[in-house]
């Protein structure tokens, strides 16, 4: 509420001062109402709503102090400002202890009073905003199979809750293993489409030349080998949700087709002439920053904005490591049951190891570590000896000032890293791109930058 609209109740027995305050507060754009005594003031409070009360301490009948206590009993959040005569600071302090927000000493200037009122109203507004925020956070979102106690993950679930019932396209971002699949499914399951199909397609896992027919289907004879016709994922997902994983890896020609489906909800099968209409909600995921791909020109801007209607970014595990104990115990129970072992707990020392780790592979890596521990453990608790972390990525503090090897520029280092990844992948670009955390398109772009020829696809 803006201060100008705030309504103020003034309780003052001295008629002249009361009238003056009423007029001057109105001049300052407050809605000012007055009462000559506490009893009248209380009656007015029960009949009208006020944002703030200003009261004299010395009143006939019920004292200002008793009035303050009564007001606080009715509404503890209503700010009360005390006016008191000079020389009675002690009573003002008592009033503050009893819940008054502030006080002014008579004689005061109107400017002084207005300042105190404004400050109080602003504080109250802040407090109220805080309270609604807290209440929202206080509302815990619970999804089976999703551990999310931390505020960061609660915020993710709050977004899921809000977006699930709509048909909005959702773009889920986050590093590998943070739970993008899990969240996509949760959106589907909490949508009105939950009784429809949830169809997933991973563009990285499918060879580029097959991706188009996988998505849109094909007619008999569309290409050599198409001996029958086949519906694509879009048709299979009709009345349900299509989850397009690794959207950043979709090659440009298919991006164009996707854009059309998103805009018009229709397409043709490969080699087909019939236009097919579908009712599909699209959820896309990417483990890289698509905006970087936009800048590199490997991802279409128009498609990006179509997909990015609602963005849900899942934080890496290291940014919400307060969830680690819950997650670890969740996986402990899961894999104890699966393996028929009776592992009841994780020792505090082992938990500390888990808490201190950086988890480059996020929740998936944590799940794998616990699964391995449970499988190999012979005891009844999971201890440090059962936890096998990759030593290199343990959280390190300090160390060398050099980020890059000495004498190397960032460009040289990037080029060397890319060449090394290609060598290790025996020239397979998909594999090299995966190792580098890049899409094939992004890798291709970087290769062209460093002048590596782009041979025809030898990807699998
Ligand atoms: N908050 C969570 N609570 C419980 N399990 C989780 C949570 N987040 C992730 N997991 C589990 O971790 C594993 C990895 O999650 P998921 O496959 O959803 O990650 P992703 O982000 O899709 O990874 P990628 O980028 O590699 O595809 C799954 O087994 C999933 O069930
Ligand atoms: Mg995934």
Distance 248 CA to ligand 2 centre (A): 13
How many CA atoms within 13 Å lie on the side-chain side of 284?
A: 27
- Compute the distance between CA of residue 33 and CA of residue 297 in angstroms, rounded to an integer: 64
What SS3 state is found at 310? strand
Ligand 1, atom 15, residue with closest C-alpha: 179
Closest CA to 393 of 361, 420, 351: 361
pLDDT on residue 392: 44
pLDDT on residue 240: 96
Phi then psi dihedrals of residue 284, to 5 deg: -115, 155
Query: What pLDDT, in 10s, does the model give residues 264-317?
Result: 889 999 999 999 999 999 999 998 778 888 888 889 988 998 898 889 999 999
Q: Is 364 in the pocket of ligand 1 (CB under 6 A)?
A: yes
Give the number of the ligand closest to the Cα of residue 333. Answer: 1
Ligand 1, atom 8, residue with closest C-alpha: 179
Distance 44 CA to ligand 2 centre (A): 61
Query: What pLDDT, in 10s, does the model give residues 379-425?
Result: 899 999 999 987 644 444 334 455 666 667 777 778 888 888 888 88
Find the helix or strand (DSSP H, E) in which 106 lies.
Answer: strand 102-106
Average pLDDT over residues 361-367: 96
Structure tokens given for 25: 């507060």
**C-alpha distances in angstroms, 400 versus 405, 407, 408?**
10, 14, 15
Ligand 1, atom 23, residue with closest C-alpha: 177
pLDDT on residue 460: 41
287 secondary structure, DSSP code: S
pLDDT on residue 296: 85
Closest CA to 415 of 452, 441, 457: 452
pLDDT on residue 437: 76
Distance 192 CA to ligand 1 centre (A): 23
**Ligand 1 atom, smallest distance to 366 CA:** 12
Give the number of the ligand closest to the Cα of residue 145. Answer: 1
pLDDT on residue 363: 97
Ligand 1, atom 4, residue with closest C-alpha: 146
Query: What pLDDT, in 10s, does the model give residues 181-223?
Result: 999 999 999 999 999 999 999 988 888 778 999 999 999 998 8
């Amino acid at each position: 509420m803006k201060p100008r609209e705030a309504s103020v109740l003034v309780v003052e027995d001295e008629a002249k001062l009361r009238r003056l305050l009423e007029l001057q507060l109105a001049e300052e754009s407050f809605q000012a109402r007055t009462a000559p005594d506490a009893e009248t003031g209380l009656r007015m409070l029960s009949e009208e709503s006020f944002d703030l009360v200003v009261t004299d301490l010395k009143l006939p009948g019920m004292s200002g102090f008793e009035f303050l206590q009564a007001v606080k009993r009715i509404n503890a959040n209503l700010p009360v400002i005390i006016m008191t005569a000079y020389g009675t600071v002690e009573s003002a302090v008592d009033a503050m202890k009893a819940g008054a927000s502030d006080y002014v000493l008579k004689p005061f200037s109107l400017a002084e009073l207005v300042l105190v009122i404004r400050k109080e109203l602003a504080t109250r507004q802040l407090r109220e905003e805080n309270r609604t925020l807290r209440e929202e956070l206080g509302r815990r979102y619970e999804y089976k199979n999703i551990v999310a106690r931390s505020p960061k993950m609660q915020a993710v679930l709050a977004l899921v809750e809000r977006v699930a019932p709509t048909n909005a396209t959702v773009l889920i971002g986050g590093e590998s293993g943070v739970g993008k699949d899990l969240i996509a499914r949760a959106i589907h399951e909490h949508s009105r489409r939950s009784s429809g199909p949830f169809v997933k397609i991973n563009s990285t896992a499918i060879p580029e030349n097959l991706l188009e027919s996988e998505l849109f289907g094909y007619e008999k004879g569309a290409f050599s080998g198409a001996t029958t016709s086949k519906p694509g994922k879009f048709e299979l997902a009709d009345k349900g949700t299509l989850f397009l994983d690794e959207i950043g890896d979709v090659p440009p020609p298919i991006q164009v087709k996707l854009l059309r489906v998103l805009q018009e909800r229709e397409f043709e099968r490969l080699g087909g002439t019939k236009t097919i209409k579908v009712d599909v909600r699209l959820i896309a995921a990417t483990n890289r920053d698509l905006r970087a791909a936009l800048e590199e020109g490997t991802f279409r801007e128009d498609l990006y904005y179509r997909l990015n209607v609602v963005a849900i970014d899942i934080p890496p595990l290291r940014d919400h490591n307060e969830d680690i104990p819950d997650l670890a115990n969740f996986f402990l129970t899961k894999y104890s049951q699966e393996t028929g072992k009776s592992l009841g707990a994780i020792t505090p020392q082992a938990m500390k190891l888990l808490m201190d780790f950086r988890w480059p592979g996020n929740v998936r890596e944590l799940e794998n570590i616990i699964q391995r521990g449970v499988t190999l453990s012979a005891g009844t608790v999971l201890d440090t000896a059962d936890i096998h972390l990759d030593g290199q990525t343990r959280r390190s503090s300090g160390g060398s000032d050099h980020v890059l090897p000495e004498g190397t520029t960032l460009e040289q280092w990037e080029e060397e890293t890319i060449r090394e990844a290609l060598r290790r992948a025996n020239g397979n670009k998909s594999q090299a791109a995966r190792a580098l955390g890049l899409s094939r398109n992004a890798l291709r772009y970087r290769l062209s930058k460093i002048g590596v020829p782009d041979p025809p696809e030898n990807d699998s």
